[in-house]
Each structure stands twice: as structure tokens, then as C-alpha cells.
């Protein structure tokens, strides 16, 4: 396959998935629900806990950075923790309890009732995300999960599930960051838009 053809194909596939999201009222309603829940939590002085594996771990860190620093404009930072960033915590839990309990332990330790947990899992079946969702139920933490088309186990355990209509991991991850950026934009505007 010619390089130009590969480039064009990837761009077209990415656009196609985003057009599917744009034309799907249910997905847009889920994004709105997720943004509203996050705004409400922040208005009550709560925080977000964000988790994912691999590329989704990097996306979790990216999203937390947008909340804590800024998105479109200067404003006070808002509390957000990416659960994939502290290597001492990660290796301690992994060594002592196993990788599957990585986020569950952190939700129990760092989370409080009324917080928001955002889980990123393209398959919806990442065991450490699934276990974290059980911990959220135990602690009264509202959970939002971004998945792929099937939703997996996670879709049955969370409060809000945003399913990207694709089965290709790269396309799903590209849309996850788009959706997260929309949520960040709404949160920033709702909390600080009148102070710009």
C-alpha cells in the first residue's frame, strides 16, 4: 500500500467515527450527562479520578492535566488525579496485590463519596477498570466510562457509559480524547465562564 494511501485511509476512518458520534443523539446525550455530572461534582468541592491502561493511561494523564492546569483560558485549577502516574504506588500495588487491583486500591484510598471516576477502556473489559467500578459503588463515587462499540463489562457497572462506535483501538482512543476535551470545555465554561 502506498504511504499516501495509508495516511488518507487513517484520516478518513477517524473522520468517519467522529461523524457517527455527531449523528448519534444517544452518544451526545451521554457526553452531556457526563459533563453535567462532572460539573455538579466540582461545584460541590469534589474531584475526579481518571484511569486507563497503555495509551488510555496517557489519555487519563492528559485529561487530569487539562483540569488541574487550564483548558481554553486562565482560571483556578480544579482537583483531578490520574491513577496511572505514581510509579511507587503502581509498583507497590502491583507487587503486593496484583495489577488487576491497581485502580481499585487507589479508588478506596484516594476517592470520597461524591467524587467522579472516569475510566478509559477501549474494550470495556479491562479487569483493573472493572474492579475500580465495583470500588466506586462501595464508596458512593459516580462513574463515567469511555469504551468502544461493545461497551464490555464496564458498561454494566458504571453510571454513564459513552460508547465510541468503532472496534478499532486507535479510532476509539482518538474519539476518547475528543469526548474528554468536550467535557473539559463544558466544565471550564460552566465553572468559570463568567470570570473570563
Joined together, the cell numbers standing for residue 1 give 500500500
Model pTM score: 0.96
pLDDT of amino acid 66: 98
CA gap 156, 160 in Å, rounded: 9
pLDDT of amino acid 194: 79
Query: Which residues have C-beta within 8 Å of that of residue 17, sequence separation ≥ 6?
Result: 164, 165, 166, 171, 172, 174, 175
Going along the chain from its start, the domains and CATH numbers come out as 26-195 (3.40.50.10490)
Chunked into runs of 10 residues, the chain (196 residues) has average pLDDT values of: 93 98 98 98 98 98 98 97 97 97 98 98 98 98 98 98 98 98 98 83
Q: Which strands, in side-by-side order, build the sheet including 48-52?
A: 80-82, 48-52, 116-120, 142-147, 160-163
pLDDT of amino acid 196: 64
Residues 71-87 as b/e (b if ≥16 CB within 10 A, e otherwise) read beeeeeebebbbbbeee
pLDDT of amino acid 63: 98
Nearest CA to 47 out of 150, 139, 174, 179 is that of 139
pLDDT of amino acid 145: 98
Joined together, the cell numbers standing for residue 142 give 459516580
Beta strands (DSSP E) in the chain are 48-52, 80-82, 116-120, 142-147, 160-163
Amino acid at each position: 500500500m502506498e504511504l499516501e494511501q495509508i495516511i488518507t485511509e487513517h484520516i478518513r476512518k477517524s473522520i468517519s467515527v467522529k461523524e457517527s458520534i455527531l449523528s448519534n443523539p444517544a452518544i451526545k446525550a451521554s457526553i452531556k450527562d457526563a459533563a453535567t455530572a462532572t460539573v455538579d461534582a466540582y461545584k460541590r468541592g469534589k474531584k475526579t479520578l481518571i484511569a486507563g491502561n497503555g495509551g488510555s493511561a496517557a489519555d487519563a494523564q492528559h485529561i487530569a492535566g487539562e483540569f488541574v492546569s487550564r483548558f481554553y483560558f486562565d482560571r483556578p485549577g480544579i482537583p483531578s488525579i490520574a491513577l496511572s502516574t505514581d510509579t511507587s504506588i503502581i509498583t507497590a500495588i502491583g507487587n503486593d496485590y496484583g495489577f488487576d487491583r491497581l485502580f481499585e486500591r487507589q479508588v478506596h484510598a484516594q476517592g470520597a463519596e461524591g467524587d467522579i471516576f472516569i475510566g478509559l477502556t477501549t474494550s470495556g473489559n479491562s479487569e483493573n477498570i472493572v474492579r475500580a467500578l465495583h470500588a466506586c459503588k462501595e464508596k458512593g463515587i459516580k462513574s463515567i466510562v469511555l469504551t468502544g462499540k461493545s461497551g464490555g463489562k464496564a458498561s454494566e457497572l458504571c453510571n454513564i457509559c459513552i460508547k465510541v462506535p468503532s472496534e478499532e483501538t486507535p479510532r476509539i482512543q482518538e474519539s476518547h480524547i475528543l469526548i474528554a476535551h468536550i467535557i473539559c470545555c463544558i466544565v471550564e465554561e460552566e465553572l468559570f465562564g463568567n470570570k473570563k
